């Protein structure tokens, strides 16, 4: 039997005092996992907001991916070694 899921990721970007911050949330249908990302522009670099957005979003998604993999490892352990 085929297994199909539709998960949604929300990504919120905002800037505070030259620092771009990102918050990514994966909705697993009852459980949410979130990731954070930050990008800071060097004061000597040109101000290109898109680059800060890309870096912060990428870092938030990477953080989210690492947390999702951690959840999967925990689930694998639970299946491989069920409790009493």
Domain boundaries defined on the chain: 8-77
CATH architecture of the region 8-77: 2-Layer Sandwich (3.30)
How do strand 19-27 and strand 32-40 relate by DSSP bridges? antiparallel
User: What pLDDT score does 42 carry?
Assistant: 86
Report pLDDT for 78. Answer: 87
Given pLDDT bands bounded at 50, 70 and 90, which one contains residue 17? confident
Among 3, 2, 7, CA closest to 29 = 7
Dump the DSSP string for 21-46: EEEEEEE-SS-EEEEEEEEE--TTS-
Q: Which residues pair with 19 in a beta bridge?
A: 16, 40
Count CA atoms closer than 13 A to 63's CA, side-chain side. 18
Digit-coded pLDDT (tens) for 19-65: 999 999 999 888 999 999 999 988 898 888 899 999 999 999 999 99
Instruction: Write down the pTM of the prediction.
Output: 0.86
């Amino acid at each position: 039997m085929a297994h199909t899921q539709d998960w949604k990721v929300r990504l919120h970007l905002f800037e505070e005092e030259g620092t771009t911050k990102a918050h990514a949330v994966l909705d697993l249908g009852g459980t949410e996992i979130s990731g954070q990302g930050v990008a800071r522009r060097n004061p000597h670099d040109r101000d290109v907001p898109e680059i800060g957005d890309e870096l912060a979003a990428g870092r938030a998604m990477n953080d989210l991916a690492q947390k999702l993999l951690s959840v999967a490892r925990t689930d694998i352990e639970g299946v491989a070694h069920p409790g009493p």
